[in-house]
């Protein structure tokens, strides 16, 4: 019962009916060409201009000889050009590969090699970073530099992005793109192991973007979204849950530059921002800045936070800060965005510390290691099904076999569902400490140790131990209020008062800082490595 389309040119049907996330810019440019798509530190880029830059980028990349579904490494700092290049890749049937340029050069080199990238687009200010990465990586042949700065990358065929664009005639690129072609490859932040390339198809991402738009109460038409973003755009949160849904529903993205609470609050007031998404610590800084000088924040309809839990007391204050906003925690992972959504209005009294229930296009269950679905309140691995689950990991059949076992995507997160369908997170699967026959959630121990006298922040890990199998170890950053020689005993005493015996750390180590990802998550495998140095 498939239509007989044999009389048609495939390209005709593809262009009329395909799913290509790049087409949303074409639609915006056709319908509201002069509306601001992005306001980048005061520079307004219209839908017409953004789409034109994306189309010319697509044409330029194809003219450089890149092949269908080849990756384009993007080493770019937050700017409107990130989205022009990303959508250009989508339109051309290429794979956008935004890179976390804060990773160690060895990790960046590993990603470029793993992806087999031959071409990189780089912000001018990041050329020195890229050059360090490339010193030992022969794969990249061509570099396109965006913005004013160095115009030559040693040993590579280098082009100026703007000149490439100026040399095109502005015609629309028309390439057949399949629904399940990959549009994006984001490498996981690698909190537990080597980064893995997560492949997302056009159809998955299109559905994810619409689903995210519904969660965050984006609207279509005259009352359009004005969204402020300060998070790094190489990460799925800023890219897939914040910026791209906004462009999908004809909204405006405000990029106020590097995070500064006063700049953020001024931008909300000036641009009548309707949607903000920040880390809890950023919302906290904005609270303080607003006390210093009050701005009109009444335009904000949705205040999102992510990545880490927010204490109820802070949530209440954020709720007050934006008087007309719903406060929402959106959770997910690079492989499944969105996964869950916690609305403060609904969950204030019952599930403030949870991840909330599943998002509209996701089904969540808890699974045991044999593939049996567990009942409410039983703890096991959190697994997902849904049309926006990723296609799999690039170049990694073993990881795919594990990830899709038993017909569910395995998140590597451990938790449980309650009777109301709310997801409660216990820990990352690899961070669960198996000590004396008990499973210890490192997250639970951390939440107590963080409150112990003298502790600024902490990470809890398991260390190999002859007696316990693994021994619970707290690595703490001292805040200087407790003498160094008293710290370990104080932490253990505090833990004993608040935790079950098997959860109490057997040892306490100190560190000056804890290694973190660009979005603030502690990288535990480096914590472990540092202890062995």
DSSP for residue 375: P
Of positions 168, 271, 385, 516, contacts a second copy by CB under 8 A: 385
CB of 225 closer than 8 Å to CB of 35: no
Closest distance to a second copy from the beta carbon of 195 (Å):
16
> Is 372 among the residues that bind a second copy (CB under 8 A)?
no
Closest distance to a second copy from the beta carbon of 359 (Å):
7
CB of 316 closer than 8 Å to CB of 352: no
Specify the residue for token string 């007696």: 467
Among positions 79-108, residues that touch a second copy (CB under 8 A) are 95
The region of 99-107, 216-224, 233-241, 460-468 touching a second copy under the rule CB under 8 A is: 216-224
Identify which of residues 382 and 433 has a Cβ nearer to a second copy in the complex: 382
Contacts (Cβ under 8 Å, ≥6 apart) of 529 = none
Strand partners, 341: 330
Closest distance to a second copy from the beta carbon of 424 (Å):
14
Among positions 176-195, residues that touch a second copy (CB under 8 A) are 179-182, 185
Nearest to 522 by CA among 482, 477, 491, 478: 477
Among positions 400-459, residues that touch a second copy (CB under 8 A) are 400-401, 404-409, 421
> Is 13 among the residues that bind a second copy (CB under 8 A)?
yes
> Is 248 among the residues that bind a second copy (CB under 8 A)?
yes
Of positions 138, 170, 222, 258, contacts a second copy by CB under 8 A: 222
User: Which SS3 state, helix, strand or coil, does residue 384 take?
Assistant: strand
Among positions 117-146, residues that touch a second copy (CB under 8 A) are none
Helices and strands in the chain: count of H runs, count of E runs: 18, 26
The token pair that represents 163 in the structure block:
């000149």
> Is 23 among the residues that bind a second copy (CB under 8 A)?
yes
Give phi and psi for 148, each to the nearest 5: -80, 135
The token pair that represents 419 in the structure block:
């009777």
> Is 386 among the residues that bind a second copy (CB under 8 A)?
yes
Angle at 442 between CA 438 and CA 443, to 5 degrees: 130
Identify which of residues 391 and 530 has a Cβ nearer to a second copy in the complex: 391
> Is 362 among the residues that bind a second copy (CB under 8 A)?
yes
**Residue 232 burial (CB count, 10 A):** 20
The region of 130-138, 141-149, 234-242, 354-362 touching a second copy under the rule CB under 8 A is: 354-362
CB of 92 closer than 8 Å to CB of 61: yes
Strands (E), 147-191: 157-160, 182-187
Identify which of residues 100 and 361 has a Cβ nearer to a second copy in the complex: 361
Closest distance to a second copy from the beta carbon of 275 (Å):
14
Give the torsion sign (CA, 494, 498, 500, 504): negative
Of positions 161, 384, 468, 494, contacts a second copy by CB under 8 A: 384
Number of residues that bind a second copy (CB under 8 A): 90
Closest distance to a second copy from the beta carbon of 5 (Å):
6
Identify which of residues 98 and 357 has a Cβ nearer to a second copy in the complex: 357
């Amino acid at each position: 019962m498939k239509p007989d389309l044999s009389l048609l040119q495939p390209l005709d049907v593809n262009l009329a009916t395909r799913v290509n996330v790049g087409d949303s810019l074409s639609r915006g440019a056709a319908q509201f060409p002069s509306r601001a798509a992005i306001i980048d530190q005061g520079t307004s880029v219209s839908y017409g201009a953004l789409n034109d830059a994306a189309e010319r980028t697509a044409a330029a990349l194809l003219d450089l000889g890149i092949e269908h579904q080849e990756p384009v490494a993007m080493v770019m700092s937050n700017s409107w050009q990130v989205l022009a290049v990303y959508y250009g890749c989508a339109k051309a049937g290429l794979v956008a590969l935004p890179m976390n340029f804060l990773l160690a050069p060895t990790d960046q080199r590993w990603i470029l090699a793993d992806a087999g990238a031959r071409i990189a687009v780089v912000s001018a200010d990041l050329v020195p970073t890229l050059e360090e990465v490339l010193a030992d990586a022969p794969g990249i042949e061509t570099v396109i530099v965006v913005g004013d700065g160095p115009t030559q990358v040693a040993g590579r065929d280098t082009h100026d992005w703007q000149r490439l664009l100026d040399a095109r005639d502005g015609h629309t690129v028309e390439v057949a793109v399949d629904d399940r072609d990959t549009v994006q490859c984001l490498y996981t932040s690698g909190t537990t192991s080597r980064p893995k390339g997560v492949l997302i198809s056009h159809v998955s991402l299109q559905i994810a973007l619409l689903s995210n738009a519904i969660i965050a109460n984006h609207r279509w038409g005259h009352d359009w979204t004005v969204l402020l973003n300060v998070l790094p755009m190489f990460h799925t949160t800023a890219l897939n849950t914040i910026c791209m849904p906004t462009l999908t529903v004809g909204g405006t993205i405000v990029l106020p530059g590097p995070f500064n609470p006063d700049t953020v609050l001024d931008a909300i007031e000036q641009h009548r921002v309707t949607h903000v998404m920040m880390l809890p610590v950023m919302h906290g800084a904005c609270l303080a800045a607003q006390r210093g000088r009050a701005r009109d924040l009444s335009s904000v309809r949705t205040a999102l936070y992510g990545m880490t839990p927010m204490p109820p007391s802070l949530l209440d204050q954020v709720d007050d800060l934006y008087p007309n906003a719903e406060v929402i925690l959106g959770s997910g992972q690079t492989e499944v965005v969105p996964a869950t959504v916690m609305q403060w209005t609904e969950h204030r009294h019952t599930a403030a510390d949870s991840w909330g229930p599943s998002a509209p296009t996701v089904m969540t269950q808890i699974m045991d290691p044999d593939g049996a679905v567990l009942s409410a309140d039983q703890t096991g691995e959190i697994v997902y099904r849904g049309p926006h689950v990723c296609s799999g990991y690039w170049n990694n059949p073993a990881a795919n076999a594990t990830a899709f076992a038993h017909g569910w995507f395995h998140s590597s997160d451990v938790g449980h569902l309650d009777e109301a369908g709310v997801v409660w997170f216990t820990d990352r699967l690899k961070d669960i400490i198996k000590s004396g026959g008990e499973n210890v959630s490192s997250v639970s121990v951390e939440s107590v140790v963080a409150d112990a006298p003298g502790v600024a922040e902490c990470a809890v890990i398991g260390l190999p131990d002859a007696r316990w199998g693994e021994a619970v170890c707290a690595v703490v950053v001292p805040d200087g209020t407790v003498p160094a020689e008293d710290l370990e005993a104080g932490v253990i005493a505090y833990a004993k008062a608040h935790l079950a015996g098997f959860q109490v750390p057997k040892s306490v180590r100190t560190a000056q800082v804890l290694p973190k990802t660009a979005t603030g998550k502690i990288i535990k495998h480096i914590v472990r490595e540092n202890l062995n140095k």
